[in-house]
Structures are given as structure tokens and as C-alpha cells.
């Protein structure tokens, strides 16, 4: 328990010291969103119809930027080696790292998506569906992203995206449907998203541990 | 060593419980009635809002196909043998589009006029493959 | 019973040895190449020239003799990659990692063949080259997974870490593929269900079924041949400097 707490505060400290990790995805997300009305059309009807999909795609793309940071810095400065050599419980390390990364990179984007009611004319009555599905969906994406980041530690960043994006396809489909379709169908999609979350958390975190290990053999 | 073994048990418990929860969630999701593909009966009973494109499907009703003489506009009816909706479409039809055969239309449904304006018509063909001669002999 | 188990274990250990595989595969290769070619020729000629045309689809349905075998092979290869990944991670069998490396490009090629032949088939019959339906989308994602495996492998300099990384990816991908397929499925599929049934009567008439089955068999043989070739090349690349390899090359000269 003490370990959990101190490791958690260590991670939080790192992220709060280096604000570029947090601001980067936010700027990217806003720019991406702003380009769609300019590139496609500024017709409110059309935009509000496309909004859920656009928000989801932009969140995924912004996620690509942040997955790099989950393990990379610790790998570069050697702290990851230390955790590994000192036989820390890697499961706890991985889970905490992913969760803190989610708090600092995905949570701001979720809050920003509320703005889309104005920017993309997203229907207000569906906002709660969107936020709910984003909460679960971004968590799953963080896990897939962590795996992609762990596999491609020290390699080029395009590779990590090429691994993460196809894996995230179910999240994209379920999440954007949850925010598109009427409220009678939403429980279905939310339940499935939750199921996917509970399914991927253990499997992906174990795969992550394996992926980290292979860099030390 | 003891701590190591303890850790392993925690990991196995963690994996097992998570997967059980996930299976439970999938089953409770399947209890929900969900509808993204509409048959004519669905469209009649609880019509979706017309601002969103949907997919509707069924059989093309016999003798319902009407072609416009000067353009590619066509009108036909889709039936699921209980209810029918009329569909209008402008464009080329796939080869397998025939009366009494399956069809999937994507477009907007207007419940007030019971009309479906399609922007895409796809023919659905079944998994049966029968030689021509055999078919003739059967008939 | 113990004897059988012993034989299996022995075979398993032999399978893990490069020299044994290299010598046995050089014997298998010529026979299986001829066999694959003959059976392919038989199936294709029978299917295209001698099988009857279909009532609803006419002649165009004949693309089934390329499309179905290619799609079936593409999926099976991925499945085998996942198994190899599991074997590699659990028992650290070198050959399993090499298998993934060798088979991934072959699987990707057959996936592309399935996608292209499917598009050519879809245009006249469904009325579209492409629909975002469950089977088509999951095949496309299958291709993406193959490409990710190839890309991930080539990004490592150390063969051992590369093998381990692609093993993990192959397994995670195999778990994810059914989920992807199911999640697209809610947009009701356009693709017809499969016509070849194992436990009940197939919905394809037997005159068309036999050539199709022969074609499928020939595609699997083809994969076997290509797989052997690719694995031999990979072994040669990895073991170039080893004694047994040098000796063998000298002997053959």
C-alpha cells in the first residue's frame, strides 16, 4: 500500500513538473477539431451529425501523442531498469503509470469535449452519453497505447501508432455509436465498453510487462 | 520467494475476476434490445428520427418496382411480409437487385409519409449456389 | 502411451533444431511444390471451365475459387501465428519466433488477395466495391495486424527481442480480432454466411463444392511451400556464420 501511494505521487509529480506532456495533446486536439468545420462544411446540421465521430477520431489521434510518454522517459533515464532489477511488482508499476498518464492526458480532453456543444453544435441532450463513453473508452485506449508504447520502446513513433490504432477500433466503434444513437440504446454500448475495459486491463497489462521485459533480456 | 508466490496469486486473482466481470457485462449487454438495422415492421412500430441515416432491409416486393422514363429515379417497396415501406432512389442498381430478393437500403426515413429516401442500394445475396440446369430441373 | 508421448516430445525437440529442419525441408520442398502446383491447376481448371454456372450470379461467382481459399488461408495463418507466439513465449522455442517472421508477409499477401478478389466480386453482385461490413472490415484490420507485425519485427536489431515482441503482438491481435468482428457486426452484415458447413449439408451444390475444396487444399499446400521457403531463407540468414551451415553448403557444392 505504501509502495502504491509513493509510486503514485512520484508519477503525479513527474507529470505536473513537465507540463508539455499535458498541453501537447490538448493543443493537438483543439487544432484537429477546428480544422474539420473549415475543411468539410460549417453547416450546423451536418456538423452536429458528424460530431461524435469527429470527437472520437481526434481523441484517438491525440492519444497517439501521449502514449509515447508512458514508459519512454523512465526507459531513457534508466528508472525503468531499476524497477525491473529491484523486482518491484511490475503489475502495479504498469497499472499506476497508465492510470496517471490517463489522468493527465485524457481527462483534459474529455473536459474539453464539452466545448464541442458550441464548436461542433453537438446536441446538448447527448452530451452525457458522450462524456460517459469517453471516460471508459479513453481508459481502454490508454491501455492499448501503453502496450504499443512498451513494444516500441526506443523505436520510431509511427510504429507505436500502427500497433495502437487497429487495436482501438472496437473502442472507436462502440464509443462513437454510444454518443450517436438515441438514449434507449446507450446502455448496450456502455455495458460493452465496460466489458472491453475489464477484459483488456488484465490482458494488456500483462502483455505490457512482457513487452518491457524483452528490452532487458 | 514467499512474497513472490503471494504476488503471483494476486495476479491470477486479478486476471480471473476481471475476466469474469467482463463476461458478466457482455451478457447483461446482450439482454438489452438494440436496433441499428431496421425492418419495415421496426420502422412502423418505433420510427427513428429522420435526421440520421439508417439502414433498412427486407425483400423487394413483387411488382412494386417503378422506373422513371427519363431519369435514373426508381421507386419500389421493401417488405418483411408483414409491413411494407416505399423506397425512392436515384442511381444505378446492382445486378442482383431483383423482385423477391434481399436488399439493403441506406438513407433517411420519414415516418409521416412512410417513405424512405435511399442514397445507397445494395443487393444482399444468399449463400446458396445452384447450377442453372439443376434449378431448371427442379422447377 | 509413454512411447507415443516420447515420440511427440522427440519430434517437438527436433522441430526446434535448425539443422534438422533445414535438411528435412529440403527433402519435402520439391515434392510439395509439385503437389501444390498440380492440385492448384486441377482445382482452378475444374472450377473455371468445368463447373456449372450459378443461377443468380451467372459466371461471376467463379471468383469464389480464388476468394474463399485466399480468405481462409489468410485467417488460418494469423491463427497459426498466435499459436506460434504462445509457444515462443511459454517454451522459448526459437523456431516459433522464426515461423512468425517468415509467415507474416505470406499472410499479408493472401489477405490482400482476398480483399482484392472480394472487391472485384462485390462490384457486379452487391453493387459496390467496398462496404464497411463486419467481414470486410475485420479482414482489413487483419491486414493491418500483419503489417504491424512486419513493421515491429523490422524495427529490432536483436532477433531475439524481435521474436518476443512479435509473439506478444500476434497473441494480443488474435484476442482482439473476434472482438473487432463482433463490434462491426451490429451494422447488419451484407456478406452472405459461409456456404461450406462442416456439421450440416453445405449450401453450395456439390458440383461447385468439389473444385472449391480442391482449390482450398491447394492454397494450403501453397502456403506450406511458401512457408518452407521463407523459413529456410530466414534460417540461412540467421545461421550463416554457424559451422553446420558452412559444412552443409560445402557439401552441396
pLDDT tens string C53-76: 777 777 778 888 889 899 889 989
CA distance B33 to chain C (A): 12
Whether B6 and B74 map to the same domain: the answer is no
Whether B25 and B55 map to the same domain: the answer is no
CA distances from A90 to A6, A121, B10, C12 (A): 15, 44, 12, 33
Whether B79 and B107 map to the same domain: the answer is yes
The pLDDT confidence band at residue B91, using thresholds 50, 70 and 90, is confident
CA distance B83 to chain C (A): 20
CA distance A150 to chain C (A): 10
B127/A196 Cα distance (integer angstroms): 32
Interchain CB distance below 8 Å, C127 and B92: yes
CA distance C13 to chain B (A): 29
**Among the partner residues A151, A167, A174, nearest to C165 by beta-carbon distance:** A151
B67 touches chain C (CB under 8 A): no
Range of the domain at C101: 66-187+207-242
**Among the partner residues A89, A181, A199, nearest to B22 by beta-carbon distance:** A199
User: Looking at the domain assignment, is residue A142 inside a domain?
Assistant: yes
Mean pLDDT of C133-147: 84
Mean pLDDT of A97-101: 92
Cell reading at A154: 526506443
Beta strand B84-90 pairing with B115-123: parallel
User: Looking at the domain assignment, is residue A164 inside a domain?
Assistant: yes
pLDDT confidence of residue B139: 55
Interchain CB distance below 8 Å, A198 and B15: no
Q: Is the pLDDT of residue B61 over 50?
A: yes
Backbone region of residue A154 per phi and psi (left: phi > 0; alpha: psi in -120 to 50; beta: other values): left
pLDDT confidence of residue C188: 47
CA distance B103 to chain C (A): 9
> For the domain that residue B57 is a member of, what is the CATH number?
2.40.50.140
DSSP string spanning A58-91?
A: HHHHHHHHHHHHHHHHHHHTTHHHHHHHTT--HH
For A39-96, the pLDDT digits (tens) are: 888 788 888 878 888 899 999 998 888 887 788 888 888 888 888 777 777 888 899 9
Q: Which three-class secondary structure string do you get for B55-117?
A: EEEEEECCCCCEECCCCCEEEEEEECCCCEEEEEEECCCCCCCCCCCEEEEEEEEECCCCEEE
If one counts every other C-beta atom within 10 angstroms of the C-beta of residue A112, the result is: 19
The pLDDT confidence band at residue C36, using thresholds 50, 70 and 90, is very high
User: Looking at the domain assignment, is residue B43 inside a domain?
Assistant: yes
pLDDT confidence of residue C184: 62
The residue behind cell 452530451 is: A127
Whether B46 and B101 map to the same domain: the answer is yes
Residue C237: alpha-carbon gap to chain centroid: 22
Q: Is the dihedral of CA A214, B1, B5, B11 positive or negative?
A: negative
User: Looking at the domain assignment, is residue A106 inside a domain?
Assistant: yes
User: Looking at the domain assignment, is residue A15 inside a domain?
Assistant: no
Structural domain count of chain A: 1
Number of H helices, E strands in chain C: 8, 0
**Which chain A residues are Cβ-neighbours of B7 within 8 angstroms?**
89, 91
User: Looking at the domain assignment, is residue C46 inside a domain?
Assistant: no
Q: Is the pLDDT of residue B43 over 60?
A: yes
A206 touches chain B (CB under 8 A): yes
User: Looking at the domain assignment, is residue B97 inside a domain?
Assistant: yes
DSSP string spanning C113-152?
A: HHHHHHHHHHHHHTS-S----HHHHHHHHHHHHHHHHHHH
User: Looking at the domain assignment, is residue A9 inside a domain?
Assistant: no
- For chain A, the chains sharing at least 3 beta-carbon pairs closer than 8 angstroms are B, C
**Among the partner residues B96, B120, B131, nearest to C53 by beta-carbon distance:** B131
User: Looking at the domain assignment, is residue C215 inside a domain?
Assistant: yes
Highest mean pLDDT of the ranges A183-187, C43-47, C183-187, C218-222: C218-222
If one counts every other C-beta atom within 10 angstroms of the C-beta of residue A92, the result is: 17
User: Looking at the domain assignment, is residue C18 inside a domain?
Assistant: no
Mean pLDDT of C134-161: 86
CA distance B3 to chain A (A): 10
Q: Is the pLDDT of residue B54 over 80?
A: no
User: Looking at the domain assignment, is residue B129 inside a domain?
Assistant: no
Task: List Cβ neighbours of C154 (8 Å cut-off, separation of 6 or more).
Answer: none
Beta strand B84-90 pairing with B37-38: unpaired
B15 touches chain A (CB under 8 A): yes
C151/C251 Cα distance (integer angstroms): 36
Q: Is the pLDDT of residue A213 over 60?
A: yes
Structural domain count of chain B: 2
pLDDT confidence of residue B34: 56
Q: Is the dihedral of CA C158, C160, C163, C168 positive or negative?
A: negative
Range of the domain at A78: 20-216
C80 with C96: CB under 8 angstroms?
Answer: no
Q: Is the dihedral of CA C27, C30, C36, C39 positive or negative?
A: negative
Position with higher pLDDT, A184 vs C129: C129
Q: Is the pLDDT of residue A174 over 80?
A: yes
The phi, psi pair for A95, rounded to 5°, reads -60, -45
Burial of A213 (0-12, 13-18, 19+ CB in 10 A): middle
B12 touches chain A (CB under 8 A): no
- Residue of A94, A200, A207, A214 best to disrupt the C interface, most CBs of C under 10 A: A214
For C74-92, the pLDDT digits (tens) are: 989 999 999 999 988 888 8
User: Looking at the domain assignment, is residue C201 inside a domain?
Assistant: no
CA distances from A25 to A19, A20, A99, A103, B46 (A): 11, 9, 16, 13, 41
Mean pLDDT of B45-51: 69
Interchain CB distance below 8 Å, A191 and B29: yes
Interchain CB distance below 8 Å, B94 and C125: yes
**What is the CB-side half-sphere exposure of residue C21 using CA atoms within 13 A?**
23
Return the closest-CA partner of residue C143 out of C167, C113, C186, C98: C113
Q: Is the pLDDT of residue C227 over 90?
A: yes
Chain C residues with CB under 8 Å of a chain B CB are: 51-57, 61, 64, 124-128, 131, 186-188, 190, 192-195, 203-205, 207-208
User: Looking at the domain assignment, is residue C214 inside a domain?
Assistant: yes
C111/A95 Cα distance (integer angstroms): 35
Return the closest-CA partner of residue C14 out of C81, C84, C83, C94: C94
C97 with C238: CB under 8 angstroms?
Answer: no
Mean pLDDT of C178-207: 63
Range of the domain at B25: 1-33
Backbone region of residue B5 per phi and psi (left: phi > 0; alpha: psi in -120 to 50; beta: other values): alpha
CA distances from A216 to C3, C56, C160 (A): 40, 60, 11
B34 touches chain A (CB under 8 A): yes
B47/B111 Cα distance (integer angstroms): 6
Instruction: Count chain A–chain C contacts defined by CB atoms under 8 A.
Output: 64
Q: Scanning every residue of chain B, which has its alpha carbon at the shortest distance from the alpha carbon of C55?
A: B132
Q: Is the pLDDT of residue A186 over 80?
A: no
A22/A28 Cα distance (integer angstroms): 11
Amino acid at each position: 500500500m505504501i509502495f502504491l501511494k509513493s509510486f503514485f505521487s512520484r508519477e503525479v509529480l513527474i507529470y505536473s513538473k513537465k507540463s508539455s506532456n499535458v498541453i501537447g495533446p490538448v493543443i493537438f486536439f483543439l487544432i484537429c477539431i477546428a480544422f474539420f468545420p473549415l475543411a468539410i462544411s460549417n453547416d450546423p446540421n451536418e456538423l452536429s451529425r458528424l460530431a461524435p465521430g469527429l470527437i472520437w477520431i481526434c481523441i484517438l489521434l491525440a492519444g497517439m501523442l501521449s502514449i509515447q510518454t508512458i514508459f519512454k522517459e523512465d526507459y531513457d533515464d534508466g528508472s525503468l531498469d531499476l524497477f525491473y532489477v529491484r523486482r518491484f511488482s511490475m503489475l502495479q508499476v504498469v497499472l499506476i503509470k497508465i492510470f496517471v498518464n490517463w489522468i493527465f492526458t485524457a481527462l483534459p480532453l474529455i473536459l474539453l469535449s464539452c466545448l464541442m456543444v458550441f464548436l461542433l453544435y453537438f446536441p446538448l441532450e447527448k452530451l452525457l452519453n458522450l462524456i460517459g463513453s469517453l471516460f471508459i473508452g479513453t481508459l481502454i485506449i490508454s491501455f492499448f497505447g501503453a502496450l504499443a508504447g512498451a513494444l516500441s520502446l526506443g523505436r520510431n513513433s509511427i510504429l507505436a501508432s500502427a500497433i495502437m490504432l487497429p487495436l482501438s477500433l472496437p473502442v472507436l466503434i462502440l464509443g462513437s455509436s454510444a454518443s450517436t444513437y438515441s438514449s434507449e440504446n446507450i446502455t448496450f454500448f456502455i455495458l460493452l465498453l465496460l466489458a472491453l475495459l475489464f477484459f483488456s486491463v488484465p490482458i494488456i497489462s500483462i502483455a505490457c510487462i512482457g513487452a518491457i521485459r524483452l528490452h532487458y533480456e | 520467494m514467499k512474497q513472490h508466490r503471494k504476488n503471483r496469486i494476486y495476479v491470477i486473482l486479478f486476471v480471473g475476476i476481471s475476466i469474469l466481470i467482463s463476461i458478466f457485462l457482455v451478457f447483461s449487454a446482450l439482454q438489452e434490445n438494440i436496433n441499428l438495422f431496421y425492418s419495415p415492421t421496426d420502422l412502423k412500430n418505433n420510427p427513428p428520427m429522420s435526421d440520421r441515416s439508417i439502414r433498412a432491409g427486407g425483400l423487394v416486393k413483387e411488382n412494386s418496382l417503378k422506373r422513371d422514363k427519363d431519369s435514373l429515379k426508381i421507386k419500389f417497396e421493401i417488405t418483411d411480409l408483414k409491413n411494407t415501406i416505399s423506397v425512392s432512389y436515384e442511381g444505378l442498381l446492382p445486378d442482383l437487385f431483383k423482385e423477391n430478393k434481399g436488399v439493403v437500403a441506406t438513407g433517411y426515413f420519414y415516418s409521416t409519409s412512410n417513405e424512405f429516401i435511399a442514397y445507397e442500394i445494395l443487393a444482399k445475396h444468399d449463400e446458396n449456389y445452384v447450377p442453372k440446369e439443376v434449378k431448371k430441373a427442379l422447377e | 502411451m509413454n512411447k507415443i508421448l516420447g515420440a511427440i516430445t522427440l519430434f517437438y525437440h527436433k522441430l526446434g533444431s535448425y539443422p534438422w529442419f533445414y535438411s528435412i525441408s529440403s527433402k519435402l520442398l520439391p515434392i510439395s511444390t509439385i503437389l501444390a502446383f498440380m492440385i492448384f491447376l486441377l482445382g482452378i481448371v475444374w472450377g473455371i471451365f468445368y463447373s456449372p454456372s450459378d443461377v443468380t450470379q451467372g459466371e461471376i461467382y467463379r471468383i469464389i475459387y480464388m476468394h474463399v481459399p485466399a480468405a481462409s488461408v489468410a485467417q488460418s495463418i494469423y491463427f497459426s501465428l498466435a499459436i506460434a507466439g504462445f509457444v515462443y513465449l511459454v517454451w522459448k522455442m526459437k523456431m516459433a519466433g522464426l515461423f512468425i517472421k517468415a509467415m507474416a508477409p505470406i499472410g499479408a499477401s493472401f489477405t490482400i488477395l482476398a480483399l482484392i478478389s472480394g472487391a472485384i466480386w462485390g462490384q457486379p453482385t452487391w453493387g459496390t466495391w467496398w462496404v464497411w461490413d463486419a467481414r470486410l472490415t475485420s479482414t482489413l484490420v487483419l491486414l493491418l495486424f500483419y503489417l504491424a507485425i512486419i513493421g515491429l519485427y523490422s524495427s529490432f536489431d536483436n532477433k531475439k527481442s524481435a521474436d518476443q515482441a512479435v509473439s506478444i503482438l500476434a497473441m494480443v491481435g488474435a484476442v482482439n480480432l473476434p472482438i473487432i468482428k463482433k463490434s462491426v457486426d451490429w451494422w447488419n452484415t451484407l456478406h452472405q454466411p459461409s456456404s461450406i458447413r462442416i456439421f450440416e449439408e453445405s449450401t453450395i451444390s456439390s458440383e461447385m463444392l468439389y473444385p472449391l475444396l480442391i482449390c482450398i487444399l491447394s492454397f494450403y499446400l501453397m502456403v506450406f511451400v511458401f512457408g518452407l521457403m521463407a523459413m529456410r531463407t530466414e534460417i540461412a540468414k540467421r545461421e550463416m556464420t554457424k559451422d553446420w551451415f558452412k559444412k552443409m553448403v560445402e557439401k552441396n557444392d
